[in-house]
C-alpha cells in the first residue's frame, strides 16, 4: 500500500522525533573503517534505538518478541520446508527466546549459524534433486503431496527430506506434462505475442514417456536457474532478511531497506519504470498479485488479476522458472525488464485453476495514474464517473498536476454537461498524499474537519478543510473495495461521517490506518565509516476518522455491500500478524447532513439479493473459500488429471459472470474526444475502460443507487440547511 509520507515532512512532531534521534545517535561514531560484522552489529544497535524512540507503538524486547521474530525468520529462510531438517530446527530453537538478548549484546551467532547451515542445506538439496531427476519418475503410485507448507512439519531426517523433494518434483513434472499435453491436443491456448485466443497447430504427438522426460529436463533447468539466482545473493542480502524478521514485528509497514532496496523503493515511489505494471506481495502460499497499475501492460492484457499467485516466470519463449521459495525481490527482478520484451507468468487463479499469462513489458505510463472521467445516460438522467487510482501530488513543484486540482477540474467539466450525480470510483486506490485527500474532501463538504492524526503519546491533530466552497453539492456515491487503502479510506470515511454520500462496495476497505516515515540511517551517524547503511521505514502516527474511530484493521464499512470473489480471502490489514490494533479517540466537532439514505440503501440491498450475477459471485466466493483448505494434491497421473478436470468443470459455471453486460453507453467528455481524434493510444485506453464499465456489474448497481438518490432532495437545499444548523451549533459552543 502507498505510504503517506508527504504529511510527515511537514509535521513538527516528526521533526522533533528526528531531532531526538539525531541527538541520541550522536554517539554512534565509528573510529575506523569497519568490517562486515561490525557494520551488522551497528545496524542492530541503530535500528533498535530508532524503533524504540521513533515507532508509534514501541514494543518490549522480551522472550515473546524473540519467539515471533524467530518464527518469522525461519519461515522466510525456508518457506516451503525443503532445506532444513528437524535436527536443524532443534539446534536453532536454542535461540528462540534469545533474539532480544542478542540484539542488546550485538551477538550475531544465531544469524551466522542459520546462514552457514542454509548454504550447506542448499548445496545438499541441489544434489538431491539432480539425482532424482536423472531417471524417470513413477507417476502411477497413489501418493499425495500437501502444499500447506505452514502446517507441514519439517522433515525428520535427510531420508525424509529426499522423499519430500521427490514428491515436490513429481508435482512439478505432472503439472508440466499436463500443460504440454493440452498444447499437443490442440486445446485453445493464448498466443504469447497477441494475448488473443487462437487454435494451436498440432505437432507430431509425443508419447507420455517423451513428455515425462522433457518435463524432467524443464524442471531441472528451472531449479538450476533458481539456485544460480540464489547463489548470487550476498551475506548482506541474507542479513537484511534477518533484520526484517525483527523489525516487522513492530507492524507490517515497518521495514528495513538495504542500500540496494532503498534505491528500488525510491524508483517505485517515483512511479516511472518499465515492466508489467503490477504490485506483488509475499504470502504464505507464494507471490501474490496485490494490485494492477491502471494503464500498465498487465492491466491492458486483462488476464492477470488481483489475488493471482505466481508459480513460474518465463522469459520470452524460454522454459519458465519455478519461483517456489524465492524472495519477493528476486521474483520482481525476473518479472521486470526492458520495454518490448515478453514475460510469461504461470499463475494459480483464485478458483484454483492454473493459467499461463503472457505479458509484453512496456513503460508503465504515469498518465494512467491521473484522474479521468466519463458520462453515462441512465434512464434519462446523465451521470458522471470520476476514477481516481491514487491521491497523487508533487510537493517539489506545486505547478505540477495533483489529484485535488484534477478532480476539481473534472467536476467542473461534468457540471458543464449538467450531470445529475457523480460516482467517485476509488476501487484499488492504495492511497497517497494526506494533504491532497483533505483538500479533495473539501470539494464535497462545507468547511470542517476531515481527519485526525495522532503521534505516539501525543494529542490528536485535526486536519480540516478550511474552504467553505462546495464544488459539488449533488448526489454522490463513493465506490471502494478490499484494496482501497490509506488516503482513499480517509476520503470514504469523511463522506460517510458527514452523510454526504453513500459508500458502496466490498464489506470493508483495506484497513490501513497508519502513517509511515522513512529515516535515512546514514544521517544519524557522524563520521560514518560503515558505508551506506540504508534506511528504515517505520510507523510514527495513526489517523482517525472525525467520528473518533480508527480505520486501522476495520477499514471503512460500506453502506451497501456488494459480494465479490475476495469476500473470504485474506486481503486486508486485519490478516497481517503484526498489525497494530484498532482503537478510538475523541471525535472532532463536525455536523453531518440532516439526511437519511435508509430507503435508497434498502432498495439496493433488495436488488442485490435478487440479482443472478451477484448470487453467482457469492456462490463463487463460497466455493473458493471451501476449496481453500483443500491443499492435498494427488501425485498419480490419472487422479491428478481428474482433479484438474473437476476444477475446470466447476469453474465453467462461473464463466457466466464474465458474460454480463449492462447495455449502457459510456462516453468521454468533449475535451477528451478532441484529444482522442489525434491520439490513437488515448482512444484505445478510453475504449478499453468503457468496455470494462459495460461489463462491470458493480458499476451497474452503483448507478442504480445514484439514480435513486436523484429521486430524493439530497443536494444543495440540504447543504444550505446544514450550514445554518452548523453555524447555530458553533455559536452555542462559543457561548459556553
Q: Which residues are catalytic?
A: 486, 497, 512
Q: End-to-end CA distance of the chain, in Å?
A: 44
**How many Cα neighbours within 13 Å face the side chain of 711?**
12
Choose among 343, 266, 335, 280: nearest CA to 308. Answer: 280
- DSSP assignment letter at 324: T
Residue with cell 507490517: 252
Burial state string for 500-509 with b = 16 or more CB within 10 A and e = fewer than 16: bbbbbbbbbb
Cα dihedral across residues 187, 188, 189, 191: positive or negative: positive
What is the rounded distance in angstroms from the CA atom of residue 337 to the CA atom of residue 499?
46
- DSSP assignment letter at 470: -
Residues β-bridged to residue 542: 454, 514
Written as one string, the DSSP assignment of 113-155 is HHHHHHHHHHHHHHHHHHHHTTS-----S--EEE--TTTPPPB
Residue 548's H or E segment, with its range, is none
What is the rounded distance in angstroms from the CA atom of residue 311 to the CA atom of residue 290?
15
- DSSP assignment letter at 93: G
Written as one string, the DSSP assignment of 499-533 is T-SEEEESSB-----EEEEEEEGGGG-TT--S---
Cα three-residue angle 208-214-217, rounded to 5 degrees:
145
Q: How many residues does the chain have?
A: 736
- Which grid cell sits at 55? 515507532
**How many Cα neighbours within 13 Å face the side chain of 154?**
16
Environment class of 494 (CB within 10 Å of its CB; exposed 0-12, middle 13-18, buried 19+): buried
Contact 78, 72 (CB under 8 A): no
Contact 161, 247 (CB under 8 A): no
Contact 510, 483 (CB under 8 A): yes
Question: How crowded is residue 159: how many other Cβ atoms within 10 Å of its Cβ?
Answer: 10
Beta strand pairing status for 381-387 and 422-425?
Answer: parallel
Backbone angles phi, psi at 403, to 5 degrees: -60, -40
Crossing angle of the two packed helices 63-77 and 235-247, in degrees rounded to 10: 140
Amino acid at each position: 500500500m502507498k505510504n503517506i509520507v508527504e504529511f510527515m515532512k511537514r509535521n513538527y512532531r516528526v521533526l522533533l522525533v528526528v531531532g531526538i534521534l539525531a541527538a541520541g545517535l550522536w554517539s554512534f561514531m565509528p573510529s575506523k573503517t569497519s568490517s562486515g560484522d561490525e557494520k551488522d552489529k551497528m545496524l542492530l544497535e541503530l535500528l533498535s534505538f530508532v524503533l524504540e524512540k521513533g515507532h508509534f507503538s514501541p514494543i518490549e524486547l522480551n522472550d515473546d518478541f524473540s519467539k515471533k521474530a524467530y518464527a518469522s525468520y525461519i519461515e522466510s529462510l525456508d518457506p516451503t520446508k525443503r532445506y532444513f531438517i528437524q535436527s536443524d530446527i532443534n539446534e536453532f530453537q536454542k535461540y528462540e527466546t534469545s533474539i532480544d538478548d542478542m540484539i542488546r549484546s550485538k551477538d550475531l551467532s544465531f544469524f551466522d549459524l542459520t546462514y552457514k547451515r542454509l548454504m550447506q542445506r542448499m548445496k545438499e538439496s541441489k544434489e538431491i534433486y539432480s539425482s532424482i531427476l536423472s531417471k524417470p519418475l513413477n507417476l502411477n503410485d497413489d501418493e499425495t503431496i500437501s502444499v500447506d507448507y505452514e502446517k507441514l512439519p519439517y522433515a525428520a531426517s535427510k531420508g525424509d527430506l529426499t522423499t519430500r523433494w521427490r514428491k515436490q518434483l513429481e508435482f512439478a513434472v505432472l503439472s508440466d506434462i499436463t500443460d504440454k499435453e493440452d498444447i499437443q491436443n490442440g486445446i485453445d491456448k493464448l498466443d504469447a505475442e497477441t494475448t488473443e485466443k487462437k487454435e494451436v497447430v498440432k505437432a507430431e504427438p509425443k508419447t507420455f514417456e517423451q513428455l515425462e522426460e522433457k518435463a524432467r529436463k524443464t524442471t531441472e533447468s528451472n531449479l538450476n536457474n533458481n539456485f544460480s539466482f540464489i547463489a548470487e545473493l550476498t551475506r548482506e542480502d541474507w542479513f537484511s532478511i534477518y533484520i526484517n524478521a525483527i523489525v516487522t514485528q513492530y507492524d507490517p509497514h515497518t521495514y528495513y531497506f538495504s542500500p540496494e532496496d532503498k534505491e528500488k523503493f525510491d524508483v517505485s515511489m517515483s512511479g516511472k519504470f518499465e515492466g508489467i505494471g503490477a504490485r506483488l506481495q509475499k504470502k504464505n502460499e507464494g507471490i501474490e498479485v496485490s494490485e494492477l497499475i491502471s494503464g500498465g501492460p498487465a492491466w491492458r492484457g486483462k488476464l492477470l488479476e488481483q489475488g493471482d499467485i505466481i508459480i513460474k516466470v518465463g522469459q520470452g519463449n524460454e522454459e519458465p522458472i519455478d519461483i517456489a521459495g524465492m524472495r519477493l525481490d528476486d521474483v520482481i527482478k525476473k518479472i521486470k525488464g526492458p520495454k518490448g520484451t515478453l514475460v510469461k507468468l504461470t499463475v494459480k487463479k483464485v478458483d484454483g485453476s492454473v493459467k499461463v499469462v503472457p505479458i509484453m513489458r512496456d513503460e508503465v505510463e504515469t498518465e494512467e495514474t491521473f484522474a479521468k472521467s466519463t458520462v453515462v445516460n441512465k434512464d434519462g438522467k446523465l451521470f458522471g464517473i470520476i476514477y481516481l487510482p491514487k491521491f497523487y501530488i508533487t510537493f517539489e513543484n506545486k505547478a505540477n498536476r495533483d489529484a485535488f486540482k484534477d478532480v476539481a477540474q473534472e467536476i467542473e467539466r461534468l457540471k458543464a454537461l449538467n450531470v445529475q450525480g457523480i460516482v467517485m470510483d476509488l476501487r484499488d486506490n492504495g492511497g497517497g498524499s494526506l494533504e491532497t485527500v483533505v483538500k479533495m474532501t473539501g470539494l464535497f463538504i462545507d468547511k470542517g474537519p476531515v481527519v485526525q492524526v495522532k503521534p505516539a503519546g501525543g494529542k490528536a491533530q485535526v486536519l480540516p478543510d478550511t474552504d467553505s466552497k462546495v464544488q459539488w453539492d449533488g448526489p454522490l456515491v463513493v465506490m471502494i473495495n478490499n484494496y482501497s487503502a490509506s488516503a482513499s479510506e480517509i476520503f470514504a470515511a469523511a463522506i460517510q461521517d458527514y452523510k454526504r454520500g453513500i459508500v458502496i462496495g466490498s464489506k470493508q476497505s483495506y484497513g490501513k490506518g497508519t502513517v509511515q516515515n522513512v529515516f535515512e540511517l546514514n544521517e544519524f551517524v557522524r563520521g560514518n565509516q560503515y558505508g551506506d547503511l540504508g534506511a528504515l521505514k517505520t510507523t510514527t502516527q495513526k489517523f482517525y476518522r472525525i467520528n473518533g474511530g480508527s480505520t486501522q484493521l476495520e477499514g471503512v464499512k460500506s453502506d451497501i455491500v456488494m459480494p465479490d470473489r475476495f469476500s473470504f480471502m485474506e486481503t486486508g490489514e486485519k490478516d497481517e500478524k503484526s498489525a497494530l490494533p484498532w482503537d478510538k479517540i475523541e471525535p472532532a466537532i463536525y455536523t453531518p447532513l440532516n439526511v437519511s439514505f435508509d430507503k435508497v440503501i434498502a432498495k439496493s440491498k433488495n436488488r442485490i439479493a435478487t440479482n443472478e450475477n451477484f448470487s453467482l459471485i457469492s456462490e463463487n466466493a463460497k466455493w473458493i473459500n471451501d476449496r481453500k483448505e483443500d491443499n492435498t494434491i494427488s501425485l498419480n497421473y490419472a487422479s491428478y488429471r481428474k482433479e484438474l478436470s473437476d476444477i475446470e468443470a466447476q469453474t465453467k459455471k462461473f464463466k457466466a459472470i464474465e458474460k454480463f453486460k449492462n447495455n449502457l453507453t459510456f462516453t468521454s467528455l468533449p475535451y477528451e474526444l478532441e484529444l482522442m481524434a489525434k491520439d490513437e493510444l488515448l482512444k484505445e485506453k478510453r475504449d478499453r475502460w468503457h468496455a470494462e464499465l459495460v461489463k462491470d456489474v458493480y458499476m451497474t448497481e452503483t448507478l442504480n443507487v445514484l439514480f435513486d438518490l436523484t429521486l430524493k432532495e439530497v443536494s444543495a437545499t440540504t447543504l444550505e440547511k446544514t450550514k445554518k444548523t452548523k453555524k447555530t451549533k458553533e455559536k452555542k459552543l462559543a457561548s459556553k
